[in-house]
Structure 1
Amino acid sequence: MVQTAAERGKATRQRLFEAAVALIGEAGWSGVSTRMVAERAGVAPGVVHYHFASVTDLLVAASVSFARDLVDQLAAGLAEQRDLGGGLDWLLDRLGAYTGTDPASLLVAETYLASSRVPALRAELHAIMADFRRAVVSWLRSCGHAGDAEAAAVLLAAVVDGLVLHRALDPGLDLTALAGPLRAMLRAEPEDEA
């Protein structure tokens, strides 16, 4: 089957994305060059600049696409959980796949760090997190969470990020042991007013 020019272009962009995603985790955001991406993707360096104005533009596009997919998968899986405790257990189990030093964890850590220097990346990550928080708010409310669901969603998003970072420092960290304290923080009943 003969590919059209548009199909070839899409396939090339996908190879560039995959190469960039792998290299960000391996070399660090600032360590990735056009030549490295081109070599990994099996294309000439000029092809990178044909598709992207700069290597930074490619890194932003690739990392944002990866982060969006990752967060959307977490949000969709959480939405399938019918109760708060079961959902938190599911989330902690899912986070157990991320060691903090695996390729996905490294990519996300590098992307967060780069977002402090790349405003377009920061804006894209903000939008992804805002969508995730909205999904968590919806899930919390569907589970009967009677407290401040917006604040709880921010907390849960930060816990997700923080646990992955902590796993890099403490690979033996047992995430399942955190289920009780996490449930207590996000209990379904509002706190008694003092």
Structure 2
Amino acid sequence: MLAEGGWPAVTTRAVAERADANVGLIHYHFGGLPGLHAAIARRAGDEVIGPVVEALLAAPDAKDALATLRRLLPATTGDDRVLRLAVELMAGAGRDPALGQALRDGLREARGRLAGRLGELYPRWPPARCTGAATVITALVDGLMLHYLLDGELPAEQALATLGELIGFGDTASILAPPNGG
């Protein structure tokens, strides 16, 4: 419902009709409309960021994680439903503190899981570095998704290839060389 009509479409009555349930039951179970919205925000957040986080966590090393991003980003940004959910989550979080908290909690959990995985991959990294890297990765994915929503011709593949080069997984000499060979 959220992807179909945004937050205005998500009412206890509409959810009850869709679920073929009593409105009072929906209201009671979620503690009213704010609780229903928070539960939907959590579920939608899991749907938007969950697959990407799970795939990154399954990558055996950083190079494979970057390849995973390069593979997943076009699929994620090509899914109109996921993009609409992402936009509605951000818009709702800006208007409603409870929705903002639900989204923050989900992002913090994702960053924490990524930081934990980075700690496993790089045991010499201090926790602050793992946390910082997880924050950059999460922001990168969110940013590329939002930019793609605004510009369907976004060169995301080129951006991720350049990222790989900058972090040492490609030809960094071509990136760091002055323009025109000079």
Distance 1:177 1:99 in 2: 15
Total equivalences in the alignment: 166
Which residue of 1 is the match for residue 65 of structure 2? 87
Q: Please say if 1:39 is aligned against 2:39.
A: no
- For the Cα contact (< 8 Å) 2:47–2:82, is it kept in 1? no
Q: Please say if 1:172 is aligned against 2:153.
A: yes
Q: Give unmatched runs, 5+ long, in structure 2.
A: 170-182
Distance 2:134 2:90 in 1: 19
- Paired letter, 1:136: L
Q: Please say if 1:158 is aligned against 2:139.
A: yes
Of 32, 35, 44, which aligns to 1:54?
A: 32
**Structure 1 residues 115-194: aligned runs within 5 Å:** 115-144=93-122, 148-184=129-165, 186=167
Of 39, 49, 54, which aligns to 1:76?
A: 54
Instruction: Give the CA deviation at 1:58.
Output: 0.8
Tell me the C-alpha RMSD between the 2 structures: 2.7
Distance 1:29 1:185 in 2: 40
Question: Are residues 127 and 187 of structure 1, via their aligned partners in 2, closer, same or farther at CA, if it must alter by over 3 Å?
Answer: farther
Question: Are residues 94 and 43 of structure 1, via their aligned partners in 2, closer, same or farther at CA, if it must alter by over 3 Å?
Answer: same
Q: Give unmatched runs, 5+ long, in structure 1.
A: 1-22, 189-194
Higher normalized contact order (CA 8 Å, seq sep 6+, divided by chain length): 1
Q: Secondary structure at the match of 1:173?
A: coil
Instruction: Give the CA deviation at 1:69.
Output: 5.2
Deviation >6 Å, runs of 4+? none
Which residue of 2 is the match for residue 110 of structure 1? 88
Is the helix fraction higher in 1 or 2?
Answer: 2
Which residue of 1 is the match for residue 174 of structure 2? none
Which residue of 1 is the match for residue 176 of structure 2? none
- For the Cα contact (< 8 Å) 1:137–1:153, is it kept in 2? yes
Which residue of 2 is the match for residue 7 of structure 1? none
Q: Secondary structure at the match of 2:87?
A: helix
Question: Are residues 30 and 100 of structure 1, via their aligned partners in 2, closer, same or farther at CA, if it must alter by over 3 Å?
Answer: farther
- Paired letter, 1:78: L
- Paired letter, 1:71: I
